[in-house]
Chains A and B, each alone.
Chain A
């Protein structure tokens, strides 16, 4: 059973994703800020991480991704940034090029809002290629 770590300060989002992901056969664990996210990453050893960009700071998600990707464990798992930043700031992020990947230190980037069902599809097809 694949374990997904969701790091987001939006309690409702986590509450809404959790049952849908569980029904799709994933184990879900959650953290509500960057620091907690890193602790959970180390303790729970998830198979994938979904990370919100703006939590206690506007770039908490970036910091967490860099932190995670510095570890051997972190390099093995897909880390996906999920944010509404582009929508709110007009700055479109992408991880299309190697350079962008280096800078963002994430494997992919999703634009909020993402419904729980779409997240399941995305995990199945893009992340775990089941």
Chain B
């Protein structure tokens, strides 16, 4: 029988630990597929974050380096400066990238570091049990925002893609979502482009992926996809914020 769909070689056989309905798994698969399709599995080095995807080093079938919370862009910088011919990427959550590691991501982008960042925005801290993230929506409840995020108290959610797009060194910035099959396909295209930008030596590339956390949102997987569409996409518009002219 003809094989119409197969597991990507970009992932190991280790079983994911993600909660049912969590979209981390979908994004892992997309990254694995892209690395395989680009033929770079053998020269890729990934940097895993601290957060629910802390075990990403077990899942990607490439050399992996675990970073401290938020520091993945700095670790990736060190790797890429030593190995300029390799493909270096970070995979980071929104607590990791937008909070504790905000300086590291801004400056990696600012230097035009030739790395690719996959940024999972699920509007919450997943791993530590649902605390507020910089990306938590106004009014959204979290364990450290039990009455809902109050703008007057802690500001509005941070729009990372828009912010990084103002930085010259960031050559490719796109926001995607993985809530529908169509959006998943678009997400894969963006991830592929982000790696191509690195392969072409153009500069820093980031894909912000709107993702779900059914567990900490207190929703079923299906409700979570709907919540993402109804609440996150209006505040975090999908689309490309920056592409070098040559690749458009």
The yes or no verdict on A and B being binding partners is no
User: Which residues of chain A have a CB within 8 Å of any CB of chain B?
Assistant: none
User: Which residues of chain B have a CB within 8 Å of any CB of chain A?
Assistant: none
